[in-house]
A and B are shown apart, each in its own frame.
Chain A
Amino acid sequence: MNVNERDVDGVLVLELSGDMMGGPEAQALNERLRKLAEAGKKRVVIDLSGVKLINSSGLGLLIAGLTVVRNKGGDLRLASPSAKVEKLLEVTKLNKVFRSFPSADEAVQSFQTN
């Protein structure tokens, strides 16, 4: 799993690509999110367009990230999930926890409007 970090209008956009199947890099991402949240970066968009596979550990990573950011009063939103990820979010009903948008721009936009 690779992570590309960028800032769009004060919103932290993390582009993930590859497989989200847990592992040490997931741990590293979690740590990074925690540090950023502590530094005040509380508006986060996770762009999933490059994610091919996701399993329970990958979902766990998203939930952990969300918890970290929400505890700081921010939010973590998902952008461009694949049909499979969307299905998984639907089955697990985690779509009630995550706000998900068709594109990163829309996800960033959503922070500006509310």
Chain B
Amino acid sequence: MIVEELAAAVYLTAAFVVFFLGLAIYRHGPQRTLNRVAAWMLFFAALGATTGGLGLLSSPSVSGTVLAVRLASVWELFFPTLLTFSLLYPRKNPMLEAHPQLVLWIYFPYAFHLGLLLLVGHGTQFSFPNVSLDWARGVLIPVRIVWVLLTRAVEEFVRFHMRAFALVDLVYAGVALALLGRSFQSVADPQLSRQGRLVVAGLGVGVGAYALAFLVPRVVRVGVSPWFANALLLVALVFSTAALAWAIVRYQFLDVRAMARRGLVLSAASGLVAGLYLLTYTQVQRLSSSLLGFRAPVLEVFFVLVAVFLFQPLVQVLESSAERLFAREVLDLRTAFQKLSEDLVASFDLQELASKLRERLGNDLGFSKVELWVNEDDVLQRVGDEATLSDSQRERLARLELPILAAELNESKAETPRGNPDFPEEALLLPLRRGETFLGLLSVTPTPGNRWSSEELALMHTLAGQVAIAVENVRLHREQLARRRVEEELALARDIQRELLPARIPSSVSFEFAALTIPSREVGGDLYDFVEFSTTRIGVALGDVSGKGVPASLLMANILAAFRVLATPERSPAEVVSALNRQLARSTTPDRYATFVYGHLDADNLRFTYCNAGHNYPLIRWPDGSVRFLEHSDMVLGVLEDAGYSTWETELLPGSCLVLYTDGVTEAFNPEGEEYGEERLLELVAEWGGGSAAALRDRILEAIREFGAGRCDYDDVTMIIARVV
């Protein structure tokens, strides 16, 4: 008795595992006919093993409901499915290609067989209803004879059919195995060949043993001891299951691989627990009933609980031993990926990143070629040797959202030369993206003969996400360094520009000066200068170059240099400005211009003679407190080469104050968006009670800062204040 239960446990375990393998195959390619057929084949095999196991457990007298017994034969659909599988694997048979309806004919005998079984069962006796009325007996005799003959014929046919149908099973299995065997003779791919041989061997041993144990005896009517038949089938079942599992895990049968491992472990554990449970439970039940004289339902609950508690540790033990079994495999992606992500986080250099990827994916995982391509300034460049791709290829790759095989990429556009040495056909191209940005490409080529499994594809996709983050980190790091360098250079430029401006304010017995410039950025476009012709005659210049920042500062330096050459005592302000304009108009585009004001302060004649090239009108304050703008200006510098400039003149008095300023003063904005404006400046200077030039300068600066609520950094601010002593 215990032997039968043990055997049943093995049957059930095998059924579990085979069923799971079928599920794994189905899950990995539900859209592929081959996967669907293989899955159904395994489901039917699992059903067969289950039927066998349950058949061993139930005593022959108690055989369940009639319908259940009849349905048990459904598993025989395994045979036509096996034949269909042999027509599809490893590749579709040309015969099937030519006659797709062949599949229907393959299943037809089994449809008939199952229909018959459902209708009449294995060997039903038909009996004529007993009729008690005497008169009717005579009438019914011929009917009865016909009935008996008919039923006998049907019974004979069913008996014959049952025996003969075993032959059909045998023929189907034989043809299928022969087809499979022949297909694999011509397979060149070593991986596929090994995988196929294993699958054929597994199926062959299983089917062969079943044929020997059940089919052949039924056909030739030889009695075989059930013990021998079961033992044979058990060994075959274990071997077949193991062969199929190994083909999947080791050789990626139908692309299913490591993902199946955990499922295998789970189903094997479930089978073992179920078997153990049945084994111990029935024994204890038997013992208890013989000892106590009744069946104790509490024991059943107890054993279910034990089984539940046992399940988890058993799974762990099986899993760790499975890990040990497979850990030696080079392609243990998960572990390597874990190490890789740690490496990626710490990379600040593209070369380093590329070499780490090569090391982990190439050396540890055995991929034959690993390349990192980076998209920079619209050029896709290989890290390491700076090889580049054509623009059209780059654009196509930049549009990729998901990993793609190089072969598919080549197919998608005929213009790409086939066999591009950069990407072998079997290389997987993983686009590296962060949002909308295409950062680059990771290309990974497997060793020859290896195909990509769907699990590997999913993991590589995840890896691409991590590599994209790493590439972006490297870029941000580099940008930060570049920004720091620019900042340092700008600081240097600011120092140089400051040195360009007058080192000291002239001191004269006749005039008192104050000047100031505050660039809104590191470097600005404002300029001012003093020219000391004599102690009583001093030139002042102030200008503002259009635009801001470095371009403005270069033009400012240019104007200042030209001005220093041009400003001689004998040249009138208009002559100097005119010459300056010509130079600037010739050397720059018209949109680069400057406003400029230049004048001579003459203490002997108490005159200010000046020329204004489009600059803000200078402001003058007389000792009596009256103020006015000097409203004469000509064209800005640099727009029209032949623009005319004239010199204007205004009277000065001791105590008079001249204010030259740039628009940073009048165009200071308050938080409400209001402009400081010329009126406010005019009022401020009018109300100013007098004092040193420096004091007025500071007063104006304070006023605009106050007005702008501390924010007057919008434009460069520059002033020259000249007071007649």
**A contacts, CB < 8 Å to B:** 22, 55-57, 59-61, 63-64, 66-67, 90-94, 96-97
> Which residues does chain A contribute within 8 Å of B633, judged by CB atoms?
90-93
Contact of A60 with B591 in the complex, beta carbons under 8 Å: yes
What is the predominant secondary structure among interface residues of chain B facing chain A? Answer: loop
> Which residues does chain B contribute within 8 Å of A64, judged by CB atoms?
589-591
> Which residues does chain B contribute within 8 Å of A90, judged by CB atoms?
633
**B554 CB, min distance to chain A CBs, angstroms:** 15
Contact of B592 with A92 in the complex, beta carbons under 8 Å: no
Is B640 an interface residue when CB atoms closer than 8 A count as contact?
yes
Q: Which of B193-201, B213-221, B248-256, B613-621 contacts A (4 or more CB under 8 A)?
A: B613-621
Is B548 an interface residue when CB atoms closer than 8 A count as contact?
yes
Assembly CA distance A64 to B591 (angstroms): 5
Is B241 an interface residue when CB atoms closer than 8 A count as contact?
no
**A56 CB, min distance to chain B CBs, angstroms:** 4
Assembly CA distance A67 to B638 (angstroms): 13
Contact of B547 with A22 in the complex, beta carbons under 8 Å: yes
Given contacts A56-B544, A60-B546, contact A92 B591 (CB under 8 A): no
Is B639 an interface residue when CB atoms closer than 8 A count as contact?
yes
Contact of A63 with B615 in the complex, beta carbons under 8 Å: no
Assembly CA distance A57 to B635 (angstroms): 16
**A51 CB, min distance to chain B CBs, angstroms:** 14
Which listed residue (B589, B595, B636) contacts A67, Cβ 8 A? B589
> Which residues does chain A contribute within 8 Å of B547, judged by CB atoms?
22, 56-57, 60
Assembly CA distance A66 to B548 (angstroms): 21
Is B715 an interface residue when CB atoms closer than 8 A count as contact?
yes
Which listed residue (A55, A67, A96) contacts B591, Cβ 8 A? A67
Contact of B639 with A97 in the complex, beta carbons under 8 Å: yes
Given contacts A67-B589, A91-B617, A92-B595, contact A56 B546 (CB under 8 A): yes
Assembly CA distance A91 to B614 (angstroms): 5
Q: Which 9 A-B pairs have the closest CB atoms?
A: A92-B614, A64-B591, A56-B546, A60-B591, A93-B635, A60-B546, A92-B636, A63-B591, A67-B590
> Which residues does chain A contribute within 8 Å of B591, judged by CB atoms?
60-61, 63-64, 67
> Which residues does chain B contribute within 8 Å of A59, judged by CB atoms?
546, 593
Further pairs besides A22-B547, A57-B548, A90-B633: 13, Cβ < 8 Å? A55-B663, A57-B547, A59-B546, A59-B593, A60-B547, A63-B590, A63-B591, A63-B593, A64-B591, A67-B589, A91-B615, A94-B636, A96-B635
Assembly CA distance A22 to B591 (angstroms): 11
Q: Of all chain A residues, which has the CB nearest B616?
A: A91
Mark contacts of B605-623 with chain A using CB atoms, 8 A cut-off: 1 yes-contact digit, 0 otherwise. Answer: 0000000001111000000
Is B667 an interface residue when CB atoms closer than 8 A count as contact?
yes
Is B634 an interface residue when CB atoms closer than 8 A count as contact?
yes
Contact of A97 with B640 in the complex, beta carbons under 8 Å: yes
Contact of A94 with B546 in the complex, beta carbons under 8 Å: no
Assembly CA distance A60 to B615 (angstroms): 14
Mark contacts of B640-665 with chain A using CB atoms, 8 A cut-off: 1 yes-contact digit, 0 otherwise. Answer: 10010000000000000000000100
Which listed residue (B589, B592, B635, B715) contacts A94, Cβ 8 A? B635
Assembly CA distance A89 to B185 (angstroms): 92
Assembly CA distance A50 to B615 (angstroms): 25
> Which residues does chain A contribute within 8 Å of B595, judged by CB atoms?
56, 91-92
Assembly CA distance A90 to B678 (angstroms): 15
Which listed residue (B546, B616, B640) contacts A57, Cβ 8 A? B546
Q: Show 25 residue pairs from A and B whose CB-CB distance is below 8 angstroms, ordered by the A residue.
A: A22-B547, A55-B715, A56-B544, A56-B546, A56-B547, A56-B595, A56-B663, A57-B548, A60-B546, A60-B547, A60-B593, A61-B591, A63-B591, A63-B593, A64-B589, A64-B590, A67-B589, A91-B614, A92-B595, A93-B614, A93-B633, A93-B636, A94-B639, A96-B635, A97-B635
Assembly CA distance A97 to B591 (angstroms): 13
Mark contacts of B578-592 with chain A using CB atoms, 8 A cut-off: 1 yes-contact digit, 0 otherwise. Answer: 000000000001111
Contact of A94 with B590 in the complex, beta carbons under 8 Å: no
> Which residues does chain B contribute within 8 Å of A55, judged by CB atoms?
663, 667, 715
